[in-house]
Amino acid sequence: MNIIITLIVIALFFHVYRQHITNKALTALPVVAFDGDIYTVGETVFAVRSGSADTTKTIVCFPGFTETMSYFTDLYKDESCQLILVNNALYHSPFDLGNATPLQWADNPHEVATIEYDGFYLAKIIDQYAAGSKIVVHGHSRGGAVVLDAGRQFPEITKTSGKEITALLEAAVVPKGTTVAPNPGKIGQSILVYLMPIGFNLYAKVSRERLAKMPMMSPTNELKTAMIMRNFRSPKFYWVYLTNVVNIPEWQEQQSHSLYENYHKVVLVQGCRDDVLVNETMEASALAGAKLNSEVEIIKTENTNHFVTLEQPHYIRAVVA
């Protein structure tokens, strides 16, 4: 009997600790420089850098799971076009919010921290702030799903707005795609999700040496290492990651290949090997989309993994050139 009581007490303390980790407010990371205007709307932050006077191009970016919009800053630092970076909802802003402008838009009808929530605001931002006649909407990983969902919700913005809008999907979450991690079943999934905040809290203190041993880190470089070390501390609360994680496979299963029809052109850039998402199901999704939209293109890369922007950025720059 004493053993049972002891186990119950241990389980109770563990649960209380887990709830504390899940719901505690996380400290923001040190900000990085950005030369542009910052805006907030709902739980979303976005940044706009003006282009040169003669530019006709706009690049709009949305980062992946655990990433902030700073994922794209090095890639596009020398671009002369208008640049719009949109952050994951309820993630810390990597840029200083001291002079941010709050916007009062219609309420977002979707649950916060879902692909649908982010897609809603991404489409609105494209509509209200993208000034170029040629627009590239670049989404990495989960951000690719956000790009596609923006088109699903507002095809009149992404396809029939009178502008040429291309969806650039980098190692993307796509309809009917899958993750590399095996499906543990409903019970196993529930256990993993339950333990995930504790895991992220531990990895927030991970060393460079231990990080380098993760499969997704090959190939690596200083920029990639520094960026991913920040990713374990991106959200304002760890429960945001939980919502992200549960929502991604639900979205993949529920959405159809018709989402590829909502952009004039769709370019999928795949890593040579991807230790996060399954390349085969990603490619199969794009090929199915190509049957509905002849302007779907697949670009395969070399010496890359899941983070093409950080590993071999010339592939991305060639698409937006």
For residues 51-78, average pLDDT:
97
The yes-or-no verdict on residue 285 having pLDDT over 80 is yes
For residues 57-71, average pLDDT:
98
Amino acid making up residue 242: L
According to DSSP, the residues that pair with 300 across neighbouring strands are: 270
**How does residue 258 score in pLDDT terms, banded at 50, 70 and 90?**
very high
Cα 141–Cα 77–Cα 313 angle in degrees, nearest 5: 45
306, 252, 301: which is closest to 275 by C-alpha?
306
The mean-pLDDT minimum among 54-63, 126-135, 198-207, 258-267 falls in: 198-207
Inside any domain, residue 135:
yes
pLDDT of residue 202: 87
Inside any domain, residue 224:
no
Inside any domain, residue 86:
yes
The mean-pLDDT minimum among 167-176, 194-203, 259-268 falls in: 194-203
90: left (phi over 0), alpha (psi -120 to 50) or beta: left
Q: List pLDDT tens digits, range 181-192.
A: 877 778 888 898
For residues 104-124, average pLDDT:
97
pLDDT of residue 178: 96
Share of the chain above pLDDT 90, in %: 88
Inside any domain, residue 204:
no
pLDDT of residue 100: 98
What's the CATH number where 161 sits? 3.40.50.1820
Share of the chain above pLDDT 70, in %: 100
Phi then psi dihedrals of residue 108, to 5 deg: -80, 125
Inside any domain, residue 31:
no
**What's the domain range around 76?**
37-179+229-320
For residues 277-288, average pLDDT:
98
pLDDT of residue 1: 66
Strand residues in 24-123 grouped as ranges (E): 37-41, 44-49, 57-62, 82-86, 101-102
Inside any domain, residue 9:
no
Q: List pLDDT tens digits, range 122-161.
A: 999 999 999 999 999 999 999 999 999 999 999 999 998 7
Q: List pLDDT tens digits, range 20-62.
A: 999 999 999 899 999 999 999 999 999 999 999 999 999 999 9
Count the domains in the chain.
1
According to DSSP, the residues that pair with 58 across neighbouring strands are: 82, 135
Strand residues in 87-230 grouped as ranges (E): 101-102, 134-140, 164-170
Inside any domain, residue 197:
no
Inside any domain, residue 10:
no
Residue 94 and residue 31 in contact, taking contact as beta carbons nearer than 8 Å: yes
CA distances from 285 to 136, 253, 280 (A): 20, 12, 9
Q: List pLDDT tens digits, range 288-308.
A: 999 999 999 999 999 999 999
pLDDT of residue 80: 96
The yes-or-no verdict on residue 15 having pLDDT over 90 is yes
